[in-house]
Amino acid sequence: MKIELLLRHMARILRKPYYASWRLLERLIYCGREYTLQVPFGHLVYTPWFASNSEFAGLIAKVKQSGPLIVSLDRCYMIYQFCKYAVSLEGDVVECGTYTGGTAYLLACLMDARTTADKRLHLFDTFQGMPDIAVPERDVHAPGDFGDTCLDYVQRRLQGFPFVKFHPGFIPDTFARIANLDYFSFVHVDVDIYPTALECCKWFWPRLPRGGVMLFDDYGFRSYRHAIRAAVDDFFAMMEEKPLILPTGQAIAIKGRNGNS
């Protein structure tokens, strides 16, 4: 147990320089290029999230001007393209796990550009960090992690989008505030921990229209295999539809023909 704690502590220390080195490599070799080297296969593959002349690039520039963005460009592009696909369907857009509002700002910009006047963007978060039910051995994160944010900051960041609705508090208790809504076309789940992710699946999946999308962040990352991945797999084990794995570390689930499964 002591060795495990020591390794965890060392990983936390090395995390910042490790990611900083990859960000430097990204800026030097990848950013601005439409085709980039795929590691480890050696192919030059289409990577539109690095291209500099696109709608996505313009939206990302706005997001970064508004404040921090901790989600990588490839994952942001998946959020962008699947929301762009689903936003024309019946129902509002949802994000569970907003933190400082980076990906929420991206969703708001996209919805604003599509002039979806009749739709709302619902943001669910404690806005105080991980809740008390987080178990580090299972969820990676401990209660209070990601506590360096607050509702007031995110509200000020997104104040230019009047269609954004904030639902601070503990999930799933806060879902009662949208119980009057029948459908949600796109749901971005970035809550990390097992019980919260499972509750998101239980609530929103029955409320997706046919073709509606749930996008799960962190699903493919090894450290979250007992958390978000386990929750998604457990929920969809008995469903006709199954999550589709993305090479970005995310997974999606698309509501099938029988929209009530």
The predicted pLDDT at position 67 comes to 97
The end-to-end CA distance of the chain, in Å, is: 43
Name the one residue in this structure whose structure tokens are 């989600």.
71
Question: 245 has which bridge partners?
Answer: 251
Q: Residue 192, Cα to own-chain centre: how many angstroms?
A: 9
∠ CA 193-15-216, rounded to 5° = 30
- CB 142, CB 130: distance < 8 Å: yes
Do the strands 213-216 and 251-254 form a parallel or antiparallel pair, or are they unpaired? antiparallel
Name the one residue in this structure whose structure tokens are 């639902």.
167
Q: What is the pTM of this model?
A: 0.92
Torsion of CA 31, 222, 81, 242, to 10 degrees: 160
The predicted pLDDT at position 54 comes to 93
The predicted pLDDT at position 118 comes to 86
Residues 6+ apart with CB under 8 A from 86: 93, 185, 186, 211, 212, 213
The predicted pLDDT at position 1 comes to 53
- CB 84, CB 114: distance < 8 Å: yes
Weakly modelled stretches of the chain, pLDDT under 50:
none
Backbone angles phi, psi at 254, to 5 degrees: -115, 130
The predicted pLDDT at position 216 comes to 98
Nearest to 43 by CA among 247, 252, 251, 249: 247
Alpha-carbon distance of 206 to 255, in angstroms, equals 9
Alpha-carbon distance of 53 to 31, in angstroms, equals 11
Count H helices, E strands: the chain? 8, 9
The predicted pLDDT at position 135 comes to 96
Helical H runs in 129-187?
136-139, 151-157
The predicted pLDDT at position 104 comes to 98
Do the strands 213-216 and 244-245 form a parallel or antiparallel pair, or are they unpaired? unpaired
The predicted pLDDT at position 7 comes to 67
Element (H, E) at 122: strand 121-125
Domain boundaries, the chain: 54-254
Alpha-carbon distance of 188 to 79, in angstroms, equals 7
Alpha-carbon distance of 52 to 32, in angstroms, equals 5
CATH number of 54-254: 3.40.50.150
The predicted pLDDT at position 258 comes to 57
Nearest to 192 by CA among 151, 120, 143, 149: 143
Alpha-carbon distance of 224 to 218, in angstroms, equals 7
Residues 6+ apart with CB under 8 A from 146: 99, 129, 130
